[in-house]
Amino acid sequence: MPRKIKKTDPLLNPDNTEPEFFSEKVREITQPKPRIRKNGDFTKQIASIYENASPQMVALKKKNKGGKFIFLTILFLAFLTAISWAGFFLFGQGPNFSEDKIAISIKNETPLQFGQEIIYDVEINNSSRAPLNDGLLTMRYPNNFKFISADPSPHNNDDKEWDTGTLAPGKKFLVKIKGLIYDSTTAEISWQALLNYKPGDLSAEFQKINILKQKIEPFAVDLKLTAPPTAETGTSLPFTISLENKSEKTLENLQISLILPSGFRNLTVPNNTWLINKFPVSSSTSFTALLLPTAEAQAGQQNIAARLSLKNETSYFEQQSTAQTINLNKSDLLLKITANNKEEKQNINFGDSLTFNVAYENSGTVEFKNATVRLILDTPSTDNKSLFDWNTIKDKYDGNITAEQISPQIRRAVITWTKKQIPELAKIKPGDKKNWEVSLSIKPKNSLNLSGLTEFKTNVYAETTVTKDSNPQPDTLQSNSLFLFLNSDLSLSMQTIVKNTEKVTPSKNTNYDSKTTYTVNWALANNLHELTNLQITATLPENVDWENNGSATAGEITFDKNTRQITWKLNRLPISFPKVNIFFDSGLKYSSKDSNSEKILLDKIQIVAQDKITGQEMSLSKDPIKIRP
């Protein structure tokens, strides 16, 4: 007979209370402990207990299967957690090992100064009772630190890691690191030492970190700049840079740089740079030169700065700087030159003709006397010959020409005019002004030894020497400077070949009934300098079709149907690859009744490139391609 389940059955009673009237019955059922046979099945025994139970009891039995699995899983995880905590207690907080017993120190005994070698001691001390296994020491240096050596040597190529192996209890590991602080971009530097290790028998990896921050003492060199408080455009002024080595060692590979305002020229050292290979302890040195504020310089307060840098391998890093402000006044006598009506730098090429214009004006109230005007051209030279062809000079005042070789690469030519050639130079009264032209051509390429040509910039300027009644000593005034760059001999030639002619159906609003397709060949030639970032662009008129078959021996050619622009690009063109050919087809549509008139096949043709030697951008334009079908 099926067993009846009361509402007070403890199996269904959620609060697990045991009513009195049912307690004996429950004990009768539950007190005997079922004996589990060795070969018995626990699940079958449970089933036998509830074999006569209601459907709800059967459902409960099924649920208990899942509950048993969850219970066993939780029990297993709890066991693992207990083991982990036991291991942590034993090795991490117990008597054998404590992280507090592991120490890393970073020390240096000498003051930290720019440009001086320093030695850092990085020490690991194991005061615990457990060995430190698989130790790896990693250093993170300041950005301005140059590694020189270490004892013991690091095991990796970037000089930052050391294998410490197994460090027994009570033992130390010491690394001595020698290096150099070479940059003064910050007044404080930061070192970081990281130790990764495994204590005792643990497989878990621990990490210990120490950070050292240090103030850097200023570079021990006294740097001074001395210049007059006032100056005038066109009149040179002296300046002096002085240094004293107050450090405790000989300094090497120093560089002094002069930073000048726009329009100022260094007449003594054109590149504004001095090098000091060795600077002994307690020694002093100085550099004196002349500065010339040209007509380009702006009136008012101007800053002149000197910068001291220290060389690290191939680069110089600023260590110290000083500056002085001068008050610049504009001269009453203004002198200016142009080349082909331009005052700024420009590109030139073999065979070009240049027209120089020399102009002066007295904008003051004082008369200048006995003026001498010189046009000076410092030009590239090969075999002691100038880049310019002096047989082509045109000068209506026939100035006196002299020349000298001022370096193996530069030849200087000077054209001089006095009151004998130009009578107006005897007296330049207030308000007087005058200008004149000199034209000169650059030699053709085939007349020069190009293999001996290593300089490609021409510097052109004018200067005048005058006297005044108030000062019989002559003053020298200088004009603006022009820089002319001889870039590579890049050229572009174009050719068209008829491919086919066909009849076409006129489109709306046109009377084009014929179409001739041409193969266009762009031939690019370059021999003097390597070029970079080359690009040729051209535009197709509305009546010309792009035939989708462009190709090139180098580079990539594309067509934009929205702008109707053809573009060819090449990243680099070395002189070992002097020629490039670009091909594409274009179809010219026209009316057969108008086939004899000239039509544009290709328009707005332009080539740009960067000269790798001069650093200048080159730009060439070509006339449109016009043809008669």
- pTM recorded for the entire structure: 0.59
pLDDT in tens, 7-16: 444 433 444 4
Peptide bond before 152: cis, by omega within 30 degrees of 0?
yes
Q: Along the chain (629 residues), what's the average pLDDT of each consecutive run of 10 residues?
A: 42 42 37 45 48 45 53 68 52 59 88 75 92 93 86 88 92 92 69 92 89 80 91 86 87 90 87 91 90 86 90 75 91 92 89 96 92 96 93 96 93 96 96 96 90 91 89 83 92 94 89 94 93 96 91 94 95 90 95 89 95 92 92
d(CA 241, CA 225): 5
Position 508 scores a pLDDT of 81
The reported pLDDT for the residue numbered 306 is 93
Beta-carbon contacts of 523 under 8 Å, excluding residues fewer than 6 positions away, are 492, 493, 494, 495, 579, 580, 581
- Structural tokens at position 348: 């030139």
Q: Are 574 and 527 in contact (CB under 8 A)?
A: no
* CA-based nearest residue to 133, from 105, 91, 88, 85: 91
Instruction: Mention every residue, 6+ apart, whose C-beta is less than 8 A from residue 509.
Output: none
φ, ψ dihedrals at 542, nearest 5°: -65, -25
pLDDT of residue 79: 67
Q: Which CATH superfamily groups domain 333-486?
A: Immunoglobulins (2.60.40.10)
pLDDT at residue 378, rounded to an integer: 95
**Tokens, residue 29:** 């059922």
CB 458 within 8 A of CB 486: yes
Residue 14 confidence (pLDDT): 42
The answer to whether the beta carbons of residues 15 and 7 sit under 8 Å apart is no
pLDDT tens digit sequence for 528-574: 999 999 999 999 999 999 998 889 999 999 999 999 999 999 999 99
Q: What is the CA radius of gyration of the chain?
A: 45
3-state secondary structure of 282: coil
Q: How far, CA to CA in Å, does 18 sit from each of 21, 28, 56, 463?
A: 9, 13, 21, 121
Residues 6+ apart with CB under 8 A from 59: none
What HEC string does 166-219 produce? EECCCCEEEEEEEEEECCCCCCEEEEEEEEEEEECCCCCCEEEEEEEEEECECC
CATH architecture of the domain covering 491-627: Sandwich (2.60)
Beta bridge partners, 347, equal: 485
Q: Where are the domains of the chain?
A: 1-32, 39-94, 99-215, 223-327, 333-486, 491-627
Q: Domain 99-215 in CATH: superfamily? A: ntegrin, alpha v. Chain A, domain 4 (2.60.40.1530)
pLDDT of residue 90: 47
Return d(Cα 324, Cα 283) in angstroms, integer. 24
E-only strand ranges, 51-96: none
Topology classification of domain 223-327: Immunoglobulin-like (2.60.40)
Kindly state the tokens that stand for 217: 């003492």
3-state secondary structure at position 627: strand
Same fold, 333-486 and 491-627: yes
Contact status, residue 192 vs residue 137, Cβ threshold 8 Å:
no
Q: How far, CA to CA in Å, does 154 sit from each of 174, 176, 329, 515?
A: 12, 11, 61, 75
* Residue with token string 């590579």: 488
